[in-house]
Amino acid sequence: MASHSESIIREPLITGKDITYAQITNDVLRPVENMPGKAWWIGFVVAVLGACLWLFSVSWTFWYGIGEWGLNKTVGWAWDITGFVWWVGIGHAGTLISAILLLFRQNWRNSINRSAEAMTIFAVICAASYIVCHMGRPWMFVYSLPLPNTYTLWVNFNSPLIWDVFAISTYFSVSLVFWYTGLLPDLATIRDRATGLRRKIYSFCSFGWTGSVKTWQRFETVCLILAGISTPLVLSVHTIVSMDFATSLEPGWHTTIFPPYFVAGAIFSGFAMVQTLLLVTRKVLGLENYITMFHIEAMNKIILLTGSIVGVAYLTEFFIAFYSGGEYEQYTFLNRFIGPYWWAGCMMYGCNVLMTQLMWFKSIRRNIPIAWVLSIVVNIGMWFERFVIIVVSLHRDFVPSSWAMFYPTWVDMSIFIGSIGLFFTMFLLFIRVLPSIAMAEVKLILKSSSEQAKKKLMAHGDLDEEQVEFYKESLVKFDSVEISDYQKA
């Protein structure tokens, strides 16, 4: 894929001196083959405590029913659906990185796709838990699937909630297969280095990978096929989720802009979560040479683009409400600013639109602490966006006598906070037992897109001096490059 000679002006995707295939393997597998450090244990203990809170609050809901939530006759959907849509959105970046960027031959995806795909799977698991919880009778979940049963019950395909079941299950299945397929060559590498019981486990999980030419040909073919299947899912899954609202007659929901608006918002929040995780992961696991400032800035640019699209969608919503002349629609959007939930609307617009625009500045995009804080701010804003769309639109309906406020109970908050703990528990276990970077794919670009490959081009001395100087200047932003080596040259 990456055997061609790359232009000197392109920034390196792998930094460091004398990087070899063996060193890539050692660097990526260090957290898998060695005992975890103190930072991992601290994070894991906190995450497990959150997961235990989730388990307790979900069990409480199953035992006592969803009456333990803060729902009322007016606000029948609240934190549960807010959390569901939020988690589904977070899971979107993994498919986009792994599938669409693969089809477009974007090699910078090679260092971040593995963790992004894992994040997708864990986020969808958290989202699916909300569906089961909201059913009230979780043991009846099987009847949401079109399976023959003794009660001769059949699903209502006119219901958007059934569409959710099909969309989420399909998305999860394809994402899981795609992720695991990419893991096979790396699992075989761990197998060949392991001994005893670990060797048997990784041998079973690698499905007899031999590394032959025929195996690699089939591997790349299957990856391209799965990428082609996954690409429509990036657009379809959140489109279907948006139809939960758009197909209703509720003011604030009944609009045709929801599908593209939801998709852009999902990619927006998904990349923000990838950024949140990888900025910490690269530092704790010592992977700065593989997840470089180029990757960080590229993801920040996508966050800026999708955040701007979301901002345009907000303006379009207001224009449609104004231009429609519908008093109910107009009041719904006015209520976001002057109603009792005005603070949620301010958080939504402030975090998603105003704060994101800071990324127009290179100094912000390339500042790791600020980028990390902004990635968290984005997902806070996206949670408030879903809260505003759902709760603020519902709490004041057509009949003023039925207006009501929603107040979350400890169960509502515990399920949401616990789902975050569950997510991080799964992610921390993932980076402990599986390689967080796709070693096989990173090795593909070592000879063409690494810092040392660029040095070899420069050593030949037949390059344009202006291009060489441009390349050297671009390295200033990298925190994993020894700038003094180029100053001496």
The reported pLDDT for the residue numbered 11 is: 84
- For the cut 50, the answer to whether the pLDDT of residue 239 exceeds it is yes
Task: Encode pLDDT of 16-44 as tens digits.
Answer: 888 888 999 999 999 998 888 888 999 99
Specify whether the CB–CB gap between 258 and 243 falls below 8 A: yes
Residue 121 lies in a domain: yes
Residue 16 lies in a domain: no
The reported pLDDT for the residue numbered 1 is: 43
- For the cut 70, the answer to whether the pLDDT of residue 342 exceeds it is yes
Residue 477 lies in a domain: no
Listed range (47-61, 216-230, 414-428) with the worst mean pLDDT: 216-230
Tokens of 76: 């029948």
Task: Encode pLDDT of 347-391 as tens digits.
Answer: 999 999 999 999 999 889 989 999 999 999 999 999 999 999 999
Number of domains forming the structure of the chain: 1
Residue 457 lies in a domain: no
| pLDDT range class, residue 279, cuts 50, 70, 90 | very high
The reported pLDDT for the residue numbered 106 is: 86
- Report which listed range, 63-67, 140-144, 193-197, 369-373, is most confident: 369-373
Q: Rounded mean pLDDT of 409-413? A: 93
What does pLDDT average to over the chain?
87
- For the cut 50, the answer to whether the pLDDT of residue 83 exceeds it is yes
Residue 451 lies in a domain: no
Q: Rounded mean pLDDT of 161-176? A: 87
More confident residue, 184 or 157: 184
Q: Rounded mean pLDDT of 250-263? A: 88
For tokens 């899912």, what's the residue? 233
Question: CATH number of the domain that 310 lies in?
Answer: 1.20.1630.10
For tokens 């970046």, what's the residue? 93
The reported pLDDT for the residue numbered 45 is: 95
Q: Rounded mean pLDDT of 226-246? A: 87
Residue 464 lies in a domain: no
- For the cut 90, the answer to whether the pLDDT of residue 487 exceeds it is no
The reported pLDDT for the residue numbered 16 is: 83
Q: Rounded mean pLDDT of 404-432? A: 94
Share of the chain above pLDDT 90, in %: 38
| pLDDT range class, residue 5, cuts 50, 70, 90 | low
Residue 132 lies in a domain: yes
Residue 134 lies in a domain: yes
Q: Rounded mean pLDDT of 331-347? A: 90
The reported pLDDT for the residue numbered 4 is: 55
Provide the domain limits for residue 287. Answer: 37-446
- For the cut 70, the answer to whether the pLDDT of residue 489 exceeds it is no
